[in-house]
């Protein structure tokens, strides 16, 4: 028999937000990031971009998706970040033991179509080589016609075992 009085995850999160509100002190932060930095990183729950880079709220734009990819939506965000909000440098952070390395896209698409009854043209963008994929993302950002050609773009691999960032050029 389940306990009907136990709060749901949603209720717990709203209670956490009330604690946050009680000590909220960020109303005066500016919209443009103070360090003029944009970061694209994986959505992996083990990665806290702010902690690994020593960033505070208001320092950078953090754009996250599965694999830390320069997808059309990530590129759209970078265009807005650079041209409307003044960012001048970009980091792309991949990481070891990424889930995007662990599956074949065709097999997952077939499974999803079978399980849901819907076959969609939604690319999952899995990859097999972490460093090669990271170099492709950096190149895509550098080549985008709406992004600033002189803006530094750096590729880094985060080691989930040690916390170390290593440049990939």
Q: Where are the domains of the chain?
A: 33-168
The residue behind tokens 């083990």 is 46
CB 93 within 8 A of CB 40: yes
Nearest to 47 by CA among 60, 35, 64: 64
Dihedral (CA of 43, 45, 50, 52) sign: negative
153-158: strand order across its sheet: 60-65, 37-42, 89-95, 153-158, 165-168
Q: Please report where in the chains the tokens 């009854």 appear, as a residue.
A: 117
Do 102 and 66 meet the contact criterion of CB atoms below 8 Å apart? no
pLDDT for position 5: 78
CATH number of this structure's domain 33-168: 3.40.1050.10
Reading the chain (169 residues) residue by residue, the pLDDT tens digits are 555 778 899 999 999 999 999 999 999 999 999 999 999 999 999 999 999 999 999 999 999 999 999 999 999 999 999 999 999 999 999 999 999 999 999 999 999 999 999 999 999 999 999 999 999 999 999 999 999 999 999 999 999 999 999 999 8
With CA atoms as reference, report the closest residue to 144 among 95, 60, 77, 93. 77
* Whether the Cβ atoms of residue 121 and residue 138 lie closer than 8 Å to each other: no
């Amino acid at each position: 028999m389940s306990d009907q009085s136990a709060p749901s995850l949603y209720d717990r999160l709203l209670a956490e937000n009330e604690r946050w509100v009680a000590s909220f002190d960020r109303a005066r932060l500016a919209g443009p990031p103070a360090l003029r930095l944009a970061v694209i990183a994986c959505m992996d729950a083990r990665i806290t971009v702010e902690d690994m880079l020593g960033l505070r709220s208001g320092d950078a734009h953090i754009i996250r998706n599965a694999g830390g990819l320069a997808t059309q939506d990530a590129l759209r965000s970078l265009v807005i970040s650079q041209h409307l909000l003044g960012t001048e440098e970009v980091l792309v952070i991949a990481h070891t033991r990424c889930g995007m390395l662990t599956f074949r896209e065709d097999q997952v698409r077939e499974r999803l179509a079978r399980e849901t009854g819907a076959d969609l043209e939604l690319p999952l963008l899995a990859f097999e080589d972490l460093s090669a994929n990271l170099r492709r993302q950096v190149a895509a950002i550098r080549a985008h016609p709406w992004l600033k050609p002189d803006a530094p773009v750096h590729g880094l691999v985060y080691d989930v075992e040690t916390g170390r960032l290593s440049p990939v050029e």
